[in-house]
Amino acid sequence: MKAFGFLSFGHYGSGSAPGEYGAKEALQQAVEIGVGADEIGVNGAYFRVHHFAEQAASPMPLLAAIAAKTSRIEVGTGVIDMRYENALYLAEEAAALDLLSDQRVALGISRGSPEPADRGWEAFGYSDSDDAKAASMAREKFAQFLSAIKGAELAPADPTQFGPGRKLRVEPHSPGLDQRVWWGAGTAATAEWAAVQGVNMMSSTLLTEATGASFGALQRDQIDRYRAAWKDAGHDWTPRVSVSRSIFPITTNLDDLYFGRRSGGEGDQIGIIDGTRSTFGKTYAGEPDELIEALKADPAVEAADTVLLTIPSQLGVDYNLHILESFASYVAPALGWQPNTSGPVTGSAM
């Protein structure tokens, strides 16, 4: 593990109950957490994207706000659901964000996870008559998005302005942005597909596989197969790989109150997601020395260059920064962490 960031699900409520955060407070606090994390040395601020839910839905304004107030932390998503997106508009937004942030973008994209709305992407104006889950449509849009950010000329130009036969690319253009794009993979096969596309790989917070192997072992197999497929594809740069974990160092009585009871042998969980048996990772909660030992034994954490810590954003700015600072101070250095003052994160040699 070279780097770690936080992954926020961005939950909020109506704001009407005592102590309950609404959307405004949740967004403003997300910016404050990003700024504080940058000062701690955390490498990334990442946000889940969900639609028709009281969660973060439109990430670009939030990421731009964090980027404007920080200087080192990368800003990104985990993940944007491509089924809901206009590929070319997303390419314009992503390039603008990349330029504004001085190339501090880590944009995770995927088919997305199950949403509260039934085929909600259709309400956004998109449909896939061949696939009820719209996975094929998501991949087609992703291909168009990648082509656009690489600078492909996609639209015929007005011949009265440019002469005959000209084509135009989307603007603005940010060179190298495609190397800062990630695909969220929920299976080993999807990880191999991401490698062929030439993008970084973000291993999902859950895997739609349940073989009896541990979550870490399943992710390690995913990472190994991704890197093997990357080599076979012959790409000329080194990609990054991330995994997500719920990790809570217990260093205060309040930590023990919130998470101490979870440290007693809680393991991976198996459930049904989107009609498929899936594996969810366990929560790591304990004294720093215990966490170091457990995380060193996690084969996926050992293989990934970046770990995303899922944070309980509803607990407020101060407590979430306490979690990040505790991990940075007492756990991460023993795992090989390099703070954001060391420069941009690079992929691990394969």
Q: Which residues lie closer than 8 Å to 75 by C-beta, 6 or more apart?
A: 34, 44, 45, 46, 63, 66, 67, 97, 101, 104, 105, 106
Q: What is the pLDDT at residue 274?
A: 54
Q: What is the pLDDT at residue 260?
A: 86
What pLDDT digit, counting tens, does each position of 186-206 carry?
Answer: 888 999 999 999 999 999 766
Q: What is the overall mean pLDDT for the chain? A: 92
Tell which wins on pLDDT, 211 or 2.
2
Pick 3-342's CATH classification: 3.50.50.60, 1.10.10.60, 3.20.20.30, 3.40.50.970. Answer: 3.20.20.30
pLDDT at 302 over 90: yes
pLDDT at 248 over 60: yes
Q: Which residues pair with 75 in a beta bridge?
A: 45, 105
Q: Which residues lie closer than 8 Å to 350 by C-beta, 6 or more apart?
A: 227, 230, 231, 238
Tokens of 291: 């966490």
Mean pLDDT of 269-278: 52
Tokens of 110: 């995927």
Distance CA 214, CA 195 (A): 23
pLDDT at 86 over 50: yes
Q: Which of 52-56, 106-110, 307-311 has the lowest mean pLDDT?
A: 52-56
Q: Is the dihedral of CA 96, 101, 107, 113 positive or negative?
A: negative
Q: What percent of the chain has pLDDT over 90?
A: 79
Mean pLDDT of 282-308: 95
Name the residue ranges covered by the structural domains of the chain: 3-342
Q: What is the pLDDT at residue 131?
A: 85
Give the pLDDT band (50/70/90) at residue 268: low
State pTM to two decimals: 0.93
pLDDT at 105 over 50: yes
The answer to whether 310 touches 26, Cβ cutoff 8 Å, is no
pLDDT at 133 over 80: yes
